[in-house]
């Protein structure tokens, strides 16, 4: 698409929105699994974290500022290596020989903060997108 350079700003905002959505999904997954003692692969659930990376925006590779304007993408979802929280509960089926159950290393407050950050960043992305759309509409109104 060459006619509308405002689409570049929209693409960049869209990549940010997708990244924030992934971050929201990860935070939701962490919150939902705050008490999961049996995750796939054994042991308790481990906290996930998104790692973001700047990427080229589709459609701007051939422009002079392709190196300057970057979108964002989630490059990987890392696992927190912090040790699990041990609770004494000998009756629990996942209790170890000493009667301790390993619970995920998740702090709900931290996850709430992450969720709020994702929400605000999403709003910011929507705002920049709306601004780009408004600019395009203003440009279409030239001479009217």
Contact present, 102 and 82 (Cβ < 8 Å): no
Contact present, 92 and 78 (Cβ < 8 Å): no
Residue 77 binds other proteins, judged by CB under 8 A: no
CB of 123 to other proteins, least distance (A): 12
Residue 62 binds other proteins, judged by CB under 8 A: no
Residues 9 to 48 in contact with other proteins, rule: CB under 8 A: 10, 13-14, 17-18, 21
Residue 1 binds other proteins, judged by CB under 8 A: yes
DSSP string, 15-28: HHHHHHHHHHHHHH
According to DSSP, the residues that pair with 51 across neighbouring strands are 76
The residue range among 4-12, 26-34, 69-77, 100-108 that interacts with other proteins, by the rule CB under 8 A, is: 4-12
């Amino acid at each position: 698409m060459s006619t509308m350079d405002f689409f570049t700003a929209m693409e960049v905002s869209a990549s940010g929105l997708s990244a924030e959505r992934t971050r929201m999904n990860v935070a939701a997954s962490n919150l939902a699994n705050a008490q999961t003692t049996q995750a796939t692969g054994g042991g308790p659930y481990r906290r996930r974290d998104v790692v973001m990376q700047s990427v080229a925006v589709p459609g701007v590779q051939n422009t002079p500022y392709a190196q300057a304007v970057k979108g964002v993408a989630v490059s990987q979802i890392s696992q927190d290596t912090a040790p699990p929280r041990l609770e004494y509960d000998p009756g629990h089926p996942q209790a170890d020989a000493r009667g301790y159950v390993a619970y995920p290393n998740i702090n709900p407050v931290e996850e709430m903060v992450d969720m709020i950050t994702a929400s605000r960043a999403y709003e910011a992305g929507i705002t920049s997108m709306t601004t780009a759309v408004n600019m395009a509409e203003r440009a279409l109104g030239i001479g009217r």
